[in-house]
Amino acid sequence: MNWLLKGGRVVDPAARLDAVRDVLVRDGKIVRVGESIPADNSRVLDLKGKVVAPGFIDMHVHLREPGREDEETMESGGAAAAAGGFTSIAVMPNTDPWNDSQSVTEYIVSQARSRCPVNVYPIGCVSKQGKGEELAEIGDMVKSGIVAISDDGHPVASAHLMRMALEYTRIFGIPVIDHCEERSLSCGGVMHEGFHSTLLGLKGAPAASEEILVARDLILAEMTGGRIHIAHLSTRRSLEKVREAKARGIAVTCEVTPHHFSLTDAAVAESHYDTNTKMNPPLREESDRQAMLQGLADGTVDAIASDHAPHNRIEKEMEFDQAPFGILGLETSVSLALDRLFHAGLLDLTRLVGLYTTSPARILGLERGTLAAGVPADITVLDLEKSVSVDQGGFRSKSRNAPYQGWKLRGAPVLTMVGGRIAFDGRS
């Protein structure tokens, strides 16, 4: 199918373009972006009043397949991604079995190609089974398609192993995605350590448990020349360390989640121990949230990533300290960013689109995140004024664990095109 996307406001940070243009798509690829392009034999999509952007990329997603298909599958996670405006997702390796070998990577790639409506980029393990003891089969996994390594869900506890990972990945030019948590300090904490954890009688994880590993791994990145990406950064001091490291030329990038820029640890108390406010790293204090907003505005933060972590209802309906960490994010991320960052006046549209496109594509080495001629026609269309009322019951995901039920948000993705094929159309 050939398409002419007509009259939308095209925002492409890679091309420094923000103007009303037409976008011509043929045979699954972008052919041209310009003014008054004739339709010829193309099917026309009238997008006047909408924003046409490169396909959004979520670089931090847990799909749960293989192993926990009761929580998420290629089909359900892909549908959630498409409805959330994402054309590409990078999936973490803490599946069952862990993605620590060529065979598991090849399984994920093959299943994604045949069953998932969006592009899936696997992330391999740093260590075998994520145990932090021995490097995984990184070279073989790279040959099969991984775009990064991470033991996400677990920190790489050994500085020696992290050093080896950073040195080894230089050969392949891929980043190490770092879950920063010093577990001898977080020590079973189930929320941020502070006023609210004391009030609620819940064991807290101090901000320093994240900051210690951020500091360690920035030192190791500087020593090795390896490339490190700090996942779900959540504290003010972690952000300061990344900002300082960037100024010194260390190869570091970082991401922030929508829940860390939109919620604080007060939400745990206000929700009366709702386990949908339990995530790792935990929701922090207001000063930390403000720091995330500042980092998003001043360019220190490179990407917004959902850390989409589905859990089934039975597992989440447990006592707070027994429930698993994590919440959904694919279907709320973009609307939260539009409402809380763009409409709040903190980010302009070019910066916001870049956080979902140009930056994650650069970090992961993907030839996407732009509307340049010749690239696959991955496109996200936004309605900046669409009113959204979050309804967990309507999620495409197989799980329902999210803390935003009933939130009113302004702005939403309304159409997602993947390789020239419409994967989601919510314009009506």
Q: What radius of gyration do the chain's Cα atoms show? A: 21
pLDDT at 428: 79
pLDDT, average across residues 263-290: 97
pLDDT at 395: 97
Please determine, for residue 52, whether its predicted confidence score (pLDDT) is greater than 90. yes
Of the pLDDT bands very low, low, confident and very high (cuts 50, 70, 90), residue 1 is: confident
Please determine, for residue 133, whether its predicted confidence score (pLDDT) is greater than 90. yes
Q: Is the separation of the CB atoms in 53 and 357 below 8 Å?
A: yes
Cβ atoms < 10 Å from Cβ of 219: 15
CA distances from 379 to 25, 63, 85, 163, 420 (A): 10, 22, 9, 38, 8
Digit-coded pLDDT (tens) for 312-330: 999 999 999 999 999 999 9
pLDDT at 358: 98
Digit-coded pLDDT (tens) for 60-102: 999 999 999 999 999 999 999 999 999 999 999 999 999 999 9
Interatomic CA distance for residues 322 and 388, integer angstroms: 32
Annotated catalytic residue, options 12, 22, 265, 307: 307
- Tell me the torsion sign for CA atoms 275, 276, 278, 279: positive
- Tell me the torsion sign for CA atoms 409, 410, 416, 422: positive
- Give the rounded distance of the alpha carbon of 117 from its chain centre: 17
pLDDT, average across residues 401-423: 98
Q: Is the separation of the CB atoms in 224 and 162 below 8 Å?
A: no
Residue type, 277: T
Please determine, for residue 391, whether its predicted confidence score (pLDDT) is greater than 90. yes
Closest alpha carbon to 330 in 89, 120, 84, 87: 84
CA atoms within 13 A on the CB side of 410: 9
CA atoms within 13 A on the CB side of 201: 2
Would you call 307 a catalytic residue per the annotation? yes
pLDDT at 161: 98
Digit-coded pLDDT (tens) for 340-349: 999 999 999 9
Helix (H) or strand (E) holding 109: helix 102-115
Digit-coded pLDDT (tens) for 178-236: 999 999 999 999 999 999 999 999 999 999 999 999 999 999 999 999 999 999 999 99
Q: Is the separation of the CB atoms in 77 and 61 below 8 Å?
A: yes
Beta bridge partners of 255: 303
Residue type, 416: T
